[in-house]
Amino acid sequence: MTSIIVFYCIAAVVIISSLLVVTLKNLFHSALFLALSFVGIAGIYLFLGAEFLAAIQVLIYVGAIVTLIIFVIMLTARISDASIRQTNEQKFISFIVAMSIFILLSSIILKNGMARAGIKSGVNTADIGRELITTYGLPFEVISVVLLVALIGAIILSRGEKAAKDK
């Protein structure tokens, strides 16, 4: 009974923070609520017994993607300028599309039922880590080098814009 209450609390946090992401006008606050939503989704993964997915959710989405979004918001000039409109003028069309998708997915779930996704037994985080280091070691290292080059390129580009403005 306690686990059901905790699950519903985490689900409520995810839903409320997701709604705040799309309704707040302050981009920085939206990014923070996006991080909270991702952490809540990681909590749901933990309830499903997928510890590796929860760890990846926190490391990749909260640790990397949201951090990158916050850096972009902070480095962008005039992001909070009064002349920039931060509202969507297509609210009605967005609402119609979102409700159509909601009705479609709800009808599919109600018609077919919610089948429990089977998690392959015997696979744990240690097995996945061993495969990443042995079988997929080279692609893993290539991705890390590509990400490092992208980070260095972003730093050089941001410094280049500041140097051009100073001249």
pTM above 0.95, yes or no: no
- Look at residue 77 in the predicted model and tell me its pLDDT: 60
- Look at residue 162 in the predicted model and tell me its pLDDT: 56
- Look at residue 146 in the predicted model and tell me its pLDDT: 92
Does the domain made of 1-77 have the CATH classification 3.30.70.2700?
A: no
- Tell me the three state secondary structure of residue 1: coil
Q: How far apart are CA 59 and CA 153, in angstroms?
A: 22
- Look at residue 164 in the predicted model and tell me its pLDDT: 56
Token pair for residue 145? 């080098």
- Look at residue 88 in the predicted model and tell me its pLDDT: 67
- Look at residue 163 in the predicted model and tell me its pLDDT: 57
| Surface-to-core class of residue 117, CB atoms within 10 Å of its CB (0-12 exposed, 13-18 middle, 19+ buried) | exposed
Q: Are 27 and 79 in contact (CB under 8 A)?
A: yes
Token pair for residue 117? 């996704």
For the chain, residues with pLDDT lower than 70 are 77-88, 114-123, 160-167
Cα angle 156, 29, 101; round to 5 = 100
Token pair for residue 167? 């001249």
Domain ranges within the chain, ordered by starting residue: 1-77, 125-167
- Look at residue 94 in the predicted model and tell me its pLDDT: 84
- Tell me the three state secondary structure of residue 79: coil
- Look at residue 133 in the predicted model and tell me its pLDDT: 86
